[in-house]
């Protein structure tokens, strides 16, 4: 099956008992047993639920993995993956990972003595230099937020193999439609499915896929033990989202390219961050490991005042955190997602005061461009 077909026919589809074309929402916590200890594959919905199982099966297929897991949020997925490690272990992480991942390792997992180092993973030699005797994993996000930094996954795989580390990839921005890290040898791929996979700003969820039976068993043990599972209704919503993932990603990327072209020709816009631009750092790597560049753009309008003015004037871009939805979203990272980082450190990372981040939706590109044009006018 090719990838667009998988989104429709992958995993478990429909309902054999009734012929229903859509997987039913099994809104149930427990299951009748035929005799003591004799069940029909399901005992209790934390351990397994048919709707969640169908989502987990299609997740595995989309990522070319052996097993998939659905969690109550992206952070629940990441937390559960981190539970694979022991106190005293060390993880090397991309330095501009999602803020919630940063908070998890620096303010929660540190209390359990799971150690970490943050490095600019777009520079493989820095990753290698950060490896210690107790390092057990590389946790890589590519592309990142908001500067769309690219890490070379094949290089990360080489480093992971050399030092016997697990390679974990947060694939939220690229989606399995564009990028499948398990194909280049990653051990674990994870998503905030709240974003593109759900795609409609109506569900919070996390997904994980792995390619190894033992890892799958270990992760299922943690999923069942920690219990951060996704409910049946939300599992169904994600499956519905997956059915149009290909269409949405194509439409979003086509719009994004047009908007980038508009921004490139606008005098008030200085730096533009988009991995699809030839001069974007890591463009060649992005092109070699993903089949598309996605729908996230960041651009600098020079000042906080202008950034705030643009935000207040746009009509079709909703001022909101999050990303990856059918509706276009806009934000000012310095004031929103990255407000907790001290200004000096923020500027060091390249997140300027006038930086605007856009998550492009599937509206008419012409409307989106006209909207940005009027918002950028004096």
Ligand X SMILES: *Cc1c(COP(=O)(O)O)cnc(C)c1O
Residues that bind ligand X (CB under 6 A): 73-75, 98, 100-101, 141, 170, 172-173, 192, 194-195, 204, 206
Q: Which position among 3, 31, 46, 268 bears the catalytic label?
A: 46
Q: Which position among 89, 96, 115, 170 bears the catalytic label?
A: 170
Return the structure tokens found at 100. Answer: 């919630």
> Please, what is the minimum distance in Å from the beta carbon of residue 267 to ligand X?
31
> Please, what is the minimum distance in Å from the beta carbon of residue 145 to ligand X?
6
Separation CA 265–CA 26 (nearest Å): 52
| Residue 73 or 121 having the CB closest to ligand X | 73
CA-to-CA separations, 187 to 132, 150, 153, in angstroms, rounded: 20, 19, 12
Q: Which H or E element spans position 55?
A: helix 50-62
| Residue 51 or 73 having the CB closest to ligand X | 73
Q: What values do phi and psi take at 138, rounded to 5?
A: -110, 130
Q: Which position among 155, 195, 248, 357 bears the catalytic label?
A: 195
In the block, residue with structure tokens 């700003």: 201
> Please, what is the minimum distance in Å from the beta carbon of residue 140 to ligand X?
11
CA-to-CA separations, 315 to 101, 209, 310, in angstroms, rounded: 32, 38, 10
* 195 included as an active-site residue: yes
| Residue 74 or 181 having the CB closest to ligand X | 74
| Residue 136 or 195 having the CB closest to ligand X | 195
* 31 included as an active-site residue: no
> Please, what is the minimum distance in Å from the beta carbon of residue 141 to ligand X?
6
Find the residue with minimal CB distance to ligand X: 74
Return the structure tokens found at 80. Answer: 């559960």
In the block, residue with structure tokens 């092109």: 287
Q: Which position among 26, 52, 98, 346 bears the catalytic label?
A: 98
Separation CA 167–CA 208 (nearest Å): 13
| Residue 172 or 223 having the CB closest to ligand X | 172
Q: What values do phi and psi take at 3, rounded to 5?
A: -65, -35
| Residue 351 or 365 having the CB closest to ligand X | 351
Return the structure tokens found at 342. Answer: 């001290």
> HSE-up of 84 (CA within 13 Å, CB side)?
23
Instruction: Output the CA torsion sign for 78, 219, 183, 114.
Output: positive
Helix/strand/coil for 100 = helix
* 170 included as an active-site residue: yes
> Please, what is the minimum distance in Å from the beta carbon of residue 92 to ligand X?
17
Active site residues: 46, 98, 170, 195
């Amino acid at each position: 099956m090719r990838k667009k077909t998988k989104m429709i026919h992958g995993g478990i589809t429909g309902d054999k008992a009734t012929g229903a074309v859509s997987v039913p929402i099994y809104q149930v916590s427990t299951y009748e047993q035929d005799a003591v200890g004799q069940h029909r594959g399901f005992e209790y919905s934390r351990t397994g639920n048919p709707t969640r199982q169908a989502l987990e099966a299609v997740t595995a297929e989309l990522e070319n993995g052996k097993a998939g897991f659905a969690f109550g949020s992206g952070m629940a997925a990441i937390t559960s993956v981190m539970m694979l490690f022991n106190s005293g272990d060390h993880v090397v992480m991309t330095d501009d990972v999602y803020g919630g991942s940063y908070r998890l390792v620096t303010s929660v997992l540190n209390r359990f003595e799971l150690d970490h180092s943050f490095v600019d993973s777009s520079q493989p030699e820095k990753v290698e230099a950060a490896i210690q005797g107790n390092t057990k994993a590389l946790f890589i996000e590519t592309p990142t937020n908001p500067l769309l930094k690219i890490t070379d996954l094949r290089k990360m795989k080489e480093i992971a193999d050399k030092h016997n580390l697990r390679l974990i990839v947060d694939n939220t921005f690229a989606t399995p439609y564009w990028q499948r890290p398990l194909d280049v040898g990653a051990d674990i791929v994870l998503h905030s499915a709240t974003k593109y996979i759900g795609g409609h700003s109506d569900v919070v969820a996390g997904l994980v896929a792995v390619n190894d039976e033992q890892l799958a068993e270990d992760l299922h043990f943690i999923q069942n033990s920690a219990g951060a599972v996704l409910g049946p209704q939300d599992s169904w919503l994600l499956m519905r989202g997956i059915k149009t993932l290909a269409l949405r990603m194509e439409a979003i990327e086509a719009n994004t390219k047009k908007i980038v072209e508009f921004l490139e020709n606008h005098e008030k816009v200085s730096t533009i961050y988009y991995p699809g631009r030839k001069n974007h750092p890591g463009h060649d790597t992005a092109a070699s490991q993903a089949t598309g560049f996605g729908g996230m753009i960041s651009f600098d309008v020079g000042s906080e005042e202008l950034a705030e003015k643009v935000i207040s004037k746009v009509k079709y871009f909703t001022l909101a955190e999050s990303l990856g939805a059918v509706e276009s979203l806009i934000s000012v990272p310095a004031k929103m997602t990255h407000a907790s980082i001290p200004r000096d450190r923020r500027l060091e990372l390249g997140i300027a005061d006038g930086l605007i981040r856009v998550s492009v939706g599937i509206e008419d590109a012409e409307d989106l461009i006209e909207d940005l044009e009027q918002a950028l006018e004096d």
